[in-house]
Amino acid sequence: MRIVVLVSGRGSNFQAIVDNVAAKNLSVTCTQMITDNPNAYAIHRAHNAGIPVTVIDYHAFPSRKEYEVDLLLALDELQPDLIVLAGYMRIIGKEIVLAYKERIINIHPSLLPSFPGLHAQAQALAHGVKVAGCTVHFVDEEMDAGPIILQRCVRVCDDDTVEVLEERILAEEHIALSHAIQLFCDGKLKICDRRVFIL
Ligand code: GAR
């Protein structure tokens, strides 16, 4: 199975995939990392891992539509079996969603459908939830709303800051994302009426 990983910044989830592949805990080939951000720290991680990088600088395009034309072209050249959004901070447009229907997954740092969008961990703290976590889901045309593959939860402690909670959730993200990729690659995910069943 060939995966392409889209990243916008730090890339710790990307690194977890790379490490799991190296440790033979994940049996996929990461053929490319694509980033919308020429300054993403994840680029260094990809170079260190010997994974080719494509930079498609979002801000170099006059519109999101034009950016997405280039992104779709890049994806089509790579022919991935699965596209993994690992800290990719942009909405995937309709054309790409349709071209790769049920072949794009995303990691989000909340227990969806709670706290979609940006700053999910801060939203969770502001709401005083006692349990937080992360979600891996298929990507559809709505933001952070596609069928849920799996979730992992963490405690929220009374003295948590946003940074502390982010770290606790991130550790679970690193496990959840690779697990979901492996399930997909093993053909164990079945979507029925917007629900994902693990076979
Ligand atoms: C992660 O917490 C990821 O869940 C989140 O961005 C962070 C990226 O960290 N993604 C989103 O919020 C997407 N809606 P990383 O670059 O170290 O993997």
The SS3 call for residue 172 is: helix
**How many angstroms separate the CA atoms of 158 and 123, rounded?**
15
Pocket of ligand 1 (CB under 6 A): 7, 9-13, 86-87, 89, 107-109, 120, 170, 173
Structural domains of the chain ordered from first start = 2-198 (3.40.50.170)
β 195-198/189-192 pair status:
antiparallel
Nearest atom (ligand 1) to Cα of 8:
16
pLDDT (mean) for 31-56: 98
Question: Catalytic residue at 127?
Answer: no
Distance, in Å, from the CA atom of 155 to the CA atom of 159, rounded to the nearest integer, reads 12
- Write 16-20 long-range contacts (CB < 8 A, 24+): 16/173, 16/174, 16/175, 16/177, 16/178, 17/84, 17/86, 17/177, 17/178, 17/181, 18/45, 18/49, 18/51, 20/178
86 vs 56, 135, 136, 143, 161, CA distance in Å?
16, 12, 10, 15, 23
Q: How far is the CA of 119 from the centre of ligand 1 (A)?
A: 10
Distance 13 CA to ligand 1 centre (A): 7
Question: What is the band of 196 on the pLDDT scale with cuts at 50, 70, 90?
Answer: very high
What's the gap in Å between 87 CA and the centre of ligand 1? 4
Global pTM value: 0.98
What's the sign of the alpha-carbon dihedral 191, 146, 133, 13? positive
Q: What is the pLDDT of residues 50-102, one digit of tens each?
A: 999 999 999 999 999 999 999 999 999 999 999 999 999 999 999 999 999 99
Q: 126-168, pLDDT tens digit by residue?
A: 999 999 999 999 999 999 999 999 999 999 999 999 999 999 9
Identified catalytic residue from 44, 47, 108, 127: 108
